A and B are shown apart, each in its own frame.
Chain A
Amino acid sequence: MLARAHTFTIEGLHARHVTVEVDVRRGLPAFTIVGLADAAVREARERVRSAILNCGYEFPAQRITANLAPGDVPKAGAALDLALACAVLAASAQLTPERLGSHVLFGELSLDGQVRAGRGTLAVAQAARRAGFDALVLAGARAREAKLVDGLQVSVVEGLTSAVRVLAGGRADSLPAQLPCAASAHAAPGPDLSEVRGQHHAVRALVIAAAGGHNCLLSGPPGTGKTMLAQRLGSILPPLSRTEAIEVARIHGIAGATAGSLAAKRPLRAPHHSITAAGLIGGAGRGWVGEAVLAHNGVLFLDELSEFSRPTLEALRQPLEEGRVSIVRAQHSAIYPARFMLVAATNPCPCGYAGAGERCNCSEADLARHRRRLSGPLLDRIDLLAHLDHHEAHDLRAPALTSSGKAREQVASARRRQARRLRCDGVALNAQMDARAIARHIHLGEDSEVMLQRARERGLLSARGQHRVLRVARTIADLDGSANVRTEDLGAALALRGDAALAGARAA
């Protein structure tokens, strides 16, 4: 007898529909799975057999053939177990098959018949809704992720027995008590900007970066607070919108990083500098997503930027430019979203003390090597550069200038202003404006035009650099609530631009 069940397998960041066909025929007892199954799926035979027997059902002592269709899509992961087991039960007439056609079954089985949650539940729920299914059967641990999708009936099951009951028209199990899930609730207060002393212009640069989504580089001797500042960036960014939060939850759910909650906080990824290019953007194996993708809608923080290997940093060029990663390998290709804010920190020289008086003992050759590592097209994509100094004694005693709460309000109102202005351009932030949007929205006064022309003539500004300075100037004006970009805004943006000073280019 033949039975069909429906499930999904994760491929990259997407879920692909898989039909599980099970045929039970007379013959020598055997259990064969065909259809590009990976090792985890082939091992399902043992789990399915034990689970069926331990739940008190009968495992047919006949020739069982399971086909996973479509045959050309590789299937991975253990979450196909539940569909396999139910199809086997239906094919051996222990389960009425009417509802199998409309339900999606997704979960891994334990040997005693318990259902475990699989990775990527949210992606599966979204794909199931799109494919026209109206019910999803899965384990409780990640059920709240699936409930975020409207119009899908989610049935929570604890074990194979409950799944059979649901498929026979019975009641589902209840959701496990309280799971951490709240789109608006704030977690325990994290680090706050009011703990930062001095470094006013670095704080200002960080607020500008947060308001306009600009990439930012903090440079300074050790112990001046670069990492401290970067860690507080999360506290001044506005919370994720619902759409963004669902996107984030989907990506992180597939990577197995969250436990079924919808986070309000933007993700902050801070990989160690020994990371490889594949680790940063993905593509190490099928479906492996990198740190840049995990930082989507959030912040990618690269501490000790000059210690990262050159190929790793070069790999960031595409995501920084296009907001997505497209990976092509011999066996597969994928496009992942990766629109993040890059925040990097570096020392000004190998010993770290350049510009701090007598303490630097780097030779000219060391400095040149350091500059070479940092220079290049990556720096060209960094809009803001803030140099941090050693603290003076009175800086440490002085009260903090701002707090995360105040800064967050400033950032939020600047972002509202941008969103209102840019609503026809299909982008939300100044940093994402293209040349046409810049021409449409940024009108300079006569003095500002002269200033810009002057900077070009002095060789301080390339054509791309000019666009970046204009975007930053627009953000500064937004922060101050000004309708037009004023000369002071442009001046401040010019002083914060990063390329010339680090690349070692000097005006003649």
Chain B
Amino acid sequence: MSAFALEDADRAACVPCLRRSWLLGELSALLDCNCREDGRLYELLALPDGNLLKALGGRRRAELETRHRGFVGTELERSPGVAELCRHDARFPCALRRPGVPPMLHVAGGLERLRDLVEPPVVAILGSARSTDYGIEMGASLARGLAASGVTVASGLGDAVAAASLRGALEASGKGLAVISGGLDVAAPVKRRGLLERLRGVGCAVGELPCGVRARRWGVAASLRLLAAIADVTVVVEATDSPRELAGARLAQSFGKAVAAVPGRLTSSASRGSHSLLLEGARLIRGAGDVLELLCELDRSAPGAVTPRPLELAPRLRGVLERVGDGADTAGKLIGGTGGADEVLSALSELELMGLLRRGDGGRYVPAQPLPAPGVRYRSSSQMEP
């Protein structure tokens, strides 16, 4: 008996993946209440089903657990023209097969077309919730240029820059891929319904939540994972300097993808985030040509250029890091019976400053993706020895 729930052309997803998507839909409102902070959200979304239910279920926990156990696949609301695709299917995009990215997609526009669109090169265009006319214009012209050169433009529908980019891409060649933050049938704002319809006709729209689930705030942050993973280059057109606005760029950095930014007026707060990205070393984009050039460079130097250089760690730091990875994740467990408290604490601090460890709840340390460090280069004291 096949693991797939229904043997039909539009359903290329197995029951566990469908169940995950269903669960996220059920917990959508709760996720919204609890995730004022993106870091927290990504941590929660990385939890397996059982723990997620435990963390968020609250009063509905018992009911949801019963339904979760009895899930067969038919519970999911479906809408004509929306296909389901999970990573256990061969057609699932390779770029999305990495931890921290949703395991299944709802696709409007057809699986075949999705496969064509996610063929590299793909460029994601990110805007700001407080976009200006300048940003909208830059997004649209960039997207037109890129789509005309055969590059797929991926973006959301949530803000004006993103919507303008998708419009631009559709005008040029139809190579537009929308990442939707709610159910594909209800998610788009009324004024962008038309755009979504055209995308379904020519391009493609994907989302992680099942049909019928309203778009909520957390969905925007969650959809950035898909955008950052699917794109070879992430271009920030406009962003204020709040962590929320820069979340997409940070995710792309942590996935080892190239990040680029369009400069704005120095006095405009809507461009402050893009400017700080530029300062940290993001590529400056003046037009579609610059993006194409960056894509070429990446192609020449792939794949080594974008993977972070393995860190050279002093043996004592490496030892501590490995033990944290092995489960001795609190200062108490690390110090254990040896009594060398200061050395261990000092090593933990150094690792935290390098971005290799992060503090979690209850004094636990969590291994983290090292990010390219802004500002001064940091070397630990032991690395300085000749």
State the A residues within 8 Å of B (CB). 198-202, 204, 219-221, 348-349, 354-356, 361, 363-365, 367-368, 385-389, 392, 394-395, 398, 401, 447, 450-451, 453-455, 457-458, 460, 476, 480, 487-492, 494-496, 500-501, 504, 506-508
Contacts and interface: CB of A to CB of B under 8 A. Distances in A.
Given A364-B34, A368-B34, A476-B342, A447 B381 contact: yes
A229 B332 CA distance: 14
B348 A495 contact: yes
A460 B330 CA distance: 18
The residue in B345, B359, B379 that gathers the most chain A C-beta atoms within 10 A of its C-beta is B345
A101 B349 CA distance: 68
B330 to A, nearest CB: 5
Contact of B363 (A398, A454, A501): A501
Q: In which size bucket is the chain B interface? A: 35 or more
Contacts of B360: 355
B332 A202 contact: yes
A361 B350 contact: no
A489 B345 CA distance: 9
The residue in A221, A365, A389, A453 that gathers the most chain B C-beta atoms within 10 A of its C-beta is A389
Given A204-B342, A457-B374, 13 more contacts: A198-B332, A201-B335, A201-B344, A348-B361, A355-B363, A363-B55, A363-B56, A364-B44, A451-B350, A454-B376, A489-B342, A506-B39, A506-B40
A491 B332 contact: no
Contact of A508 (B55, B250, B347, B353): B250
Interface in B40-59: 40, 44, 54-58
B346 A491 contact: yes
B322 interface: no
A221 B332 CA distance: 13
B258 to A, nearest CB: 19
A389 B34 contact: no
A467 B343 CA distance: 22
Contacts, number: 147
B341 A204 contact: yes
B363 A387 contact: yes
Contact of A495 (B30, B34, B349, B355): B349
A458 B355 contact: yes
B345 A507 contact: no
A455 B353 contact: yes
Contacts of B348: 491, 495
B297 interface: no
Given A355-B364, A457-B374, A508-B39, A365 B339 contact: no
B304 interface: no
27 contacts: A198-B332, A201-B332, A201-B344, A355-B361, A363-B34, A364-B34, A364-B44, A365-B33, A386-B331, A387-B363, A389-B332, A395-B336, A450-B376, A450-B378, A450-B379, A453-B376, A457-B374, A458-B353, A489-B342, A490-B346, A490-B349, A491-B349, A494-B353, A495-B348, A500-B359, A506-B39, A508-B243
Main secondary structure of the interface of B (DSSP, over half): helix
Nearest to B31: A364
Contacts of B246: 508
A360 B375 CA distance: 39
B40 to A, nearest CB: 7
B17 to A, nearest CB: 24
A158 B180 CA distance: 91
A466 B34 CA distance: 31
Given A355-B330, A508-B39, A495 B352 contact: yes
B273 to A, nearest CB: 11
Nearest to A487: B381
B376 A491 contact: no
B358 interface: yes
A5 B307 CA distance: 91
B159 to A, nearest CB: 20
Contacts of A204: 341-342
Nearest to A352: B362
A451 B381 CA distance: 9
Nearest to A480: B342
Contacts of B337: 198, 200, 394-395, 398
B332 A387 contact: yes
Contacts of B339: 200, 401
Interface string B362-386: 1110000000001110110100100
B89 interface: no
A384 to B, nearest CB: 11
A491 B350 contact: yes
Contacts of A386: 331
The residue in A392, A398, A401, A491 that gathers the most chain B C-beta atoms within 10 A of its C-beta is A491
Nearest to A207: B341
B77 interface: no
A491 B316 CA distance: 14
B333 interface: yes
Contact of A460 (B335, B352, B376): B352
Given A368-B34, A492-B341, A200 B363 contact: no
B374 to A, nearest CB: 7
B91 to A, nearest CB: 35
A349 B344 CA distance: 26
